């Protein structure tokens, strides 16, 4: 298993600098990571740094809480695509979901997935599994399986609990095969990363990516 090919090398702190972006893009090229995941402000910079390589540029939409209006997320997504993003990690509207306004959540999913499908981009929907019950995780899987999303993603990295093997396994059991799983949040060791992959994850969001591929223990919340 070559973990590097599964990793989205990530920096999403609100104090991220151009120096941080230079660093993770350089590391992504050196280690062959799948993508760099950067704040929307830095999409153009990242695209210039990894352009022409196999490394994709991912960014976040409605991050980190997801309660933005879906029209706001749609505009965020359009701008990100215009500026060069290949993949969009969107936080679902958990406020609407917990309020049982599933029609709103479905509208959001339909609008965003249509845009990414028409643009040939990848959509990853973040469900924040660490704060959901098992039944709620299953409901998310049942909801999103009806839309052309490429990934369901466990976590933003901002909740108290990030990715778990149990959540990934549960998601894999209740998602159709065409929807992949991205595990993120608190992945700091190669051992844990491999456990998540064994449970069904095909992409990993990490800020400790270099330490992980070197077999060391990394720091950072994401």
**Residues acting as catalytic residues:** 89, 153, 182
Distance CA 9, CA 22 (A): 12
Q: Are 109 and 143 in contact (CB under 8 A)?
A: yes
In terms of Cβ atoms closer than 10 Å to its own Cβ (0-12, 13-18, 19+), residue 177 is exposed
Q: Are 87 and 119 in contact (CB under 8 A)?
A: no
Element (H, E) at 115: helix 102-119
Q: Whose CA is closest to 36, among 15, 23, 55, 14?
A: 55
Q: How far is CA 44 from the centre of its chain?
A: 19
Distance CA 82, CA 76 (A): 10
Residues 6+ positions from 182 with CB-CB distance below 8 Å:
8, 89, 124, 151, 152, 153, 154, 201, 202, 203, 204, 205
């Amino acid at each position: 298993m070559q973990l590097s090919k599964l990793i989205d090398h990530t920096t999403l702190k609100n104090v991220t600098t151009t120096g941080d972006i230079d660093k993770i893009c350089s590391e992504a090229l050196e280690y062959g990571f799948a993508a760099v995941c950067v704040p929307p402000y830095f999409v153009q910079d990242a695209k210039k740094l990894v352009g022409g390589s196999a490394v994709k540029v991912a960014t976040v939409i409605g991050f980190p809480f997801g309660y933005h209006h879906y029209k706001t997320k749609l505009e965020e997504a359009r701008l990100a695509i215009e500026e060069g993003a290949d993949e969009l990690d969107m936080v679902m509207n958990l406020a609407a979901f917990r309020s049982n306004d599933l029609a709103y959540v479905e509208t959001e999913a339909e609008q965003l997935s249509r845009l990414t499908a028409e643009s040939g981009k990848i959509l990853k929907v973040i469900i924040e599994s660490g704060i959901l019950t098992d039944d709620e995780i299953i409901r998310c899987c049942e909801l999103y399986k009806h839309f052309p999303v490429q990934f369901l993603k466990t976590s933003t990295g901002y909740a108290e609990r990030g990715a778990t093997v149990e959540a990934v396994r549960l998601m894999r059991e209740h998602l159709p095969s065409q929807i992949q799983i991205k595990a993120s949040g608190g992945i700091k060791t190669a051992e844990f990363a491999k456990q998540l992959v064994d449970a069904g994850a095909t992409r990993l969001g990490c800020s400790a990516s270099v330490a992980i591929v070197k077999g060391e223990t990394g720091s950072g919340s994401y």
